[in-house]
Structure 1
């Protein structure tokens, strides 16, 4: 079974074997390689080796067409001596998936206590709302746990819900296989959440939780996300997402933020900012760090983007304050955006020297940090002890 979590090197080895098999077959040898279970997300392996795409293909098991679905339902009706009112309605509900069609028909029968052949012809109406509730309840025992574990992320926090927002948005699509970059661009209300997790955090979540890896597929290189179990997708499409949010333990906040932290810094302090960003991401925090999001904001003005992020879309602003931050144009602009948030305790200063800043009084509790005299191999530990732990505790205190 080829899964999207396979490393490119492994996929390339498989692709080379397929190419060799195809060449041997052309020379008269009946040698084939058949990979069972390859999904659309993983299909890029046939493009990893030059000249392979035209030698092989992917053969998908397609859902049943309308006439086959009607035939399947009719055979069941004959055996049970029943008549379901709307065959086409069932087909529209299940998309022709064989297993889901059978489950839906079973739910219709059970709603009328039909468990064996009826002594007289029974007419069964198709009640879509009642049907969806019954089927979703039936699937809950199988799919509730993986959905909740996915939504809670790699490190649960009651305010850390981008995975829930992503999954809910996917459930609202026609297809269960989506390009997350396209999805983010098409849905501004969840763009920040999707962009926050699609580079690294989503892959880490799926890799770290076997129950998520079993049901959810993601290729961070192509940004393709897939739910290939039709029953799981059906379950998600008809979930009560407000109830799910409560089950996950998320708190409803007065404001929605795209980022837990946005880091403001002068270019001279980029290495320190990058180290802070990396450690916060390890703890599954969403962090705005300019170079991570350049591709997401192509075609947009940095001026407008930075104003939104530092003034409104970040829960906290972490500012690395020193003489460079005071003198440089962009850090000064960022300061103008986030200084109005100082009274709401949303600005966390990290003081790198004794520079004074308008709007940021000396009595604001911040973090004093200096790497002077610290061996290079101990810098990361110093950042962890003096900065990261304190930032994490600040989030947890909300």
Structure 2
């Protein structure tokens, strides 16, 4: 039976591998990202039915809320399917009900029996296992919200998971703000990005946040972003660590893209090194 099964899957692969790959990588393969399309296909295949309620799946897999929620809420998932007739032959998504369903029984059998670790590498991802809830957590003074929001949008559109307070306000409601924020800056983000504008040292919440992550400087987990109009002083401890400078004299969009691309490269190499350290077998 195992030999027959392998032959069937080999035959089905000729028809369905490229379609599964097209869906799993999304409009563009982003090796630094959290592979939201890959996970949707994996969750869909893991179920007994041919349908997946995406909203329910996100609730059950909250660590993927940021990345999967992004492609659903902003219409990227629906757009990806609508622009690819090959996908429409096998997968349907209803934005109103948020139901993702497989239309072809042979395709369902194929993805149901995929070896996901092998498929992950075949489609171009080094790894889709993550050791943190967020890739980055942003720490900033309210006066620099424009910078924080622009950086959040840039990184999240590249399928990274980023903690940005406005994006989670509804979850913070009625909760102890300190209890909610403290673990994010202490350990739940792979890196903390501190946007060190002129108001950063003066604000209550930035003082609180920096208290949570100050020990992580020695763990190479904090990335300072110095503003050109508020350069660090000679006794500023952050200058001991590698960071970036945001030039206020240049267009903000260009500066955010430059910094954002470097942060994407950083997280991609971090994931590569983390994968290399995993035990084999």
Give the TM-score, by structure 2 length: 0.76
In structure 2, the CA distance between the partners of 1:252 and 1:390, relative to structure 1 (3 Å rule), is closer
**Does structure 1 conserve the Cα–Cα contact (< 8 Å) formed by 2:70 and 2:156?**
no
Q: Which residue of 1 aligns with 2:219?
A: 344
- Structure 1: distance between partners of 2:87 and 2:186: 35
| CA displacement, residues 221-273 of structure 1 (integer Å, 9 cap, x when unaligned) | 54332223232222211211121122123224885234333222222211111
Q: 1:287 aligns with which of 140, 162, 172?
A: 162
Q: Which residue of 2 aligns with 1:71?
A: none
Residues 240-279 of structure 1 aligned to structure 2 (within 5 Å): 240-252=115-127, 255-279=130-154
Larger radius of gyration: 1
Secondary structure (helix, strand or coil) at the match of 1:361 reads helix
**Does structure 1 conserve the Cα–Cα contact (< 8 Å) formed by 2:194 and 2:223?**
yes
**Does structure 1 conserve the Cα–Cα contact (< 8 Å) formed by 2:89 and 2:104?**
no
Residues 1-398 of structure 1 aligned to structure 2 (within 5 Å): 127=1, 132-160=5-33, 161-188=35-62, 190-191=64-65, 193-200=67-74, 201-203=76-78, 205-206=80-81, 211-212=86-87, 214-220=89-95, 222-252=97-127, 255-295=130-170, 302-352=177-227, 353-354=230-231, 360-372=237-249, 378-385=251-258, 387-398=259-270
Answer 1 or 2: higher relative contact order, Cα 8 Å, separation at least 6: 2
Please report how far the alpha carbon of residue 210 of structure 1 lies from its aligned counterpart in structure 2 after TM superposition: 5.2
Please report how far the alpha carbon of residue 276 of structure 1 lies from its aligned counterpart in structure 2 after TM superposition: 1.5
Root mean square deviation, CA, Å = 3.4
User: Which ranges of structure 1 fall in alignment gaps of 5 or more residues?
Assistant: 1-126
Please report how far the alpha carbon of residue 301 of structure 1 lies from its aligned counterpart in structure 2 after TM superposition: 5.1
Give the TM-score, by structure 1 length: 0.56
Secondary structure (helix, strand or coil) at the match of 1:362 reads helix
In structure 2, the CA distance between the partners of 1:235 and 1:259, relative to structure 1 (3 Å rule), is same
Please report how far the alpha carbon of residue 325 of structure 1 lies from its aligned counterpart in structure 2 after TM superposition: 2.6
**Does structure 1 conserve the Cα–Cα contact (< 8 Å) formed by 2:91 and 2:102?**
yes
- Structure 2: distance between partners of 1:358 and 1:174: 60
Secondary structure (helix, strand or coil) at the match of 2:238 reads coil
- Structure 1: distance between partners of 2:194 and 2:235: 14
Q: How many residues align?
A: 266
**Does structure 2 conserve the Cα–Cα contact (< 8 Å) formed by 1:319 and 1:349?**
yes
